[in-house]
Structure 1
Amino acid sequence: MVRFAALSLFVACALAVPTSLSERSGVAYYNPAANGGSMLDVSGSLGEPLNVIISGLSSPSVLASTNALINYARAIGFSTECFGIHIGTPQTANLGDGQGQVNQLIELRQDYGSASLGTCLESVIGGNHFRAWQQSGSLAPSDAWFLAVSKEEPATQSHNIVPDGYDIGRDALVSGAVGTHSFGGVTYTTTAQNVTGLLSVGSAGINHGIALDGIVTVLTVTAS
């Protein structure tokens, strides 16, 4: 009886300790709206769609930090801003995880094939870019990355979003991510699934009055 009780206690303790970041919740993501959040970030009085989610069921090394996200982003054609210079007010988002409105953690830009200098070209001629937040608060601890992706005009057009730029930006990022890519000694394999019901169709409340098709793409990334 004593040995059985000890074994039961050992099993219970083993089950209680997560073996990876994603096992804290065991879900891909939580719908921010369930706890008062939104799938739109805040940009002035309007919002931009969080139209790509990197699943909380991805490899822990992808979810561990902003540096981990940057390395993955470099594998799929994005990098940090030109010489680390950011112009503009950070946007905020409430992911319904109990942290309220939080500033974007990072903004990354299309690198045109050069992780070191390519984003300087993007800053001039425009291209794809995204802002990122992580759903990590106690009310929704998925550790998923929520990305606001859009394609923007060149600097001569004040980096405004191109027509249909939210859906175009999402699709371009996903197209470049799906499959197997490597950077910094890490190989990433990415699969994608489109989800409806998180974002509304149309332009109500959307920055620049650009209509959305209502699709959010969920990426699951395996690192090796």
Structure 2
Amino acid sequence: MHFLSGLVFLPLVLKTVASSPNLQSRQGAVAFFQPSLNGGSQLDNAGDGFGEPLNVIISALSSPGVLTDAGILNWARSVNFSTECLDQHLGGPQTANLGDGNGFTNQTAEIREDFGNALLGTCLESLIGGNHFRYWRQNGPEANTGALFLARPNLNHTPEEAYPKRKKNLSENHTIAPNGYDVGRDALVASATSAPTSFGGVTYTATSETITGLLPVGSQGVNHGIALDGIVKLLTITIQ
């Protein structure tokens, strides 16, 4: 059946995702639209036919100032993430289809762990490994919610001797830890929700909800063959 009006249909669709009242329509707004209901996927395209899980969603019911590119970056800095080292991206962009009518689009940005130093800390992450997330914005003509979908792996540094027969660049110096997708998701959510966070004079509080049924359980179709527990965390972030 042709998808006629994503925004009109959204409140009904969301009832199939979870029963939480925070996922329902609020003054015409919704938290997000389920990508698979309009040809999208909760797995991005990491290449070779596999994907990484979009296992954190920043709700469109968050404060509007959080949902812009500058806003999500400032919030990320409040939980010790920042822009890539010297604004240099390592590796090719991944793509995702959020079911909003835009089809597959490149990641909006990749945000890396900064170890408490927003200026240069991500250079350390590039060298020794750490955590990062990619994000996409759901803003297409068929589901213009404004929600942000995060692919949230947890990385370990891979030593050079793991690849003895080939020369590597820095983008190959990292590998996902066992259970890394679930671990990375939970670490980010814990940082966001355990206490108010702040950066640049802005203070944030966040609440989290657990959603099942959006991601598969297990490793089928998942990049690096890493199994998932099937859980997506919905963060609603409020500026104080």
What is the TM-score of this pair, normalised by structure 1? 0.87
Gap change, CA 1:67 and 1:23, over 3 Å in 2: farther
Higher Rg: 1
Q: 8 Å contact 1:108–1:131 — kept in the other structure?
A: yes
In structure 1, C-alpha distance between the alignment counterparts of 2:57 and 2:93, rounded to whole Å: 19
Q: 1:168 & 1:93 partners in 2: Cα distance?
A: 21
Runs of 4+ aligned structure 1 residues displaced above 6 Å come to: none
Instruction: Identify the residue that residue 205 of structure 2 maps to in structure 1.
Output: 189
SS in 1 for 2:131: strand
Once the two structures are superposed, residues 21-47 of structure 1 have per-residue CA deviations (whole angstroms, 9 ceiling, x without a partner) of x97851111100011000000011200
C-alpha offsets along residues 128-183 of structure 1, whole Å, 9 cap, x if unaligned?
Answer: 11000000112111101000001112253621111111001101111111131111
**Distance in 2 separating the partners of 1:25 and 1:219:** 19
Secondary structure at 2:186 match in 1 = helix
Q: Which amino acid aligns with 1:49?
A: P
Equivalent position amino acid for 1:93 in 2: A
1:202 matched residue in structure 2: 218
* One-letter amino acid matched to 2:199: F
Could you tell me whether the CA contact under 8 Å between 1:55 and 1:219 is conserved in 2?
Answer: yes
Mapped partners of 1:23, 1:115: distance in 2: 35
Q: Give 1:90 shift.
A: 0.2
The separation in 1 between residues aligned to 2:72 and 2:159, in whole angstroms, is 30
Alignment correspondent of 1:116: 119
Q: How far apart, in 1, do the equivalents of 2:28 and 2:84 lie?
A: 32
- Residue 19 of structure 1 corresponds to none
SS in 2 for 1:168: helix
Residue in structure 2 matched with residue 94 of structure 1 by the alignment:
97
Q: Secondary structure at the match of 2:196?
A: strand
More moved, 41-50 vs 120-129: 120-129
CA deviations over 1:68-104 (Å, ceiling 9, x no partner): 1101100111101111111211000000000000000
Contact 1:123 1:155 in 2 (8 A): no
* Paired position in structure 1 for 2:77: 74
Task: Tell me if structure 2 keeps the 8 A contact 1:109–1:122.
Answer: yes
Count the aligned residue pairs: 202
Which residue of the partner structure matches residue 136 of structure 2? Answer: 133
1:176 paired with 2:152, answer no
- State the identity %: 58
Give CA deviations for 1:100-125 in whole Å, capped at 9, x if unaligned: 00000000011111111111111112
C-alpha distance in 1 between matches for 2:127 and 2:156: 9
The Cα shift of 1:185 comes to 1.5
Structure 2: segments with no counterpart, 5+ residues: 1-24, 161-172
Give me the whole-angstrom Cα distance separating, in 2, the residues matched to 1:122 and 1:87: 12
Gap runs ≥5 in structure 1: 1-21
Residue 215 (structure 1) aligned with residue 231 (structure 2): yes
Q: CA RMSD in A?
A: 1.5
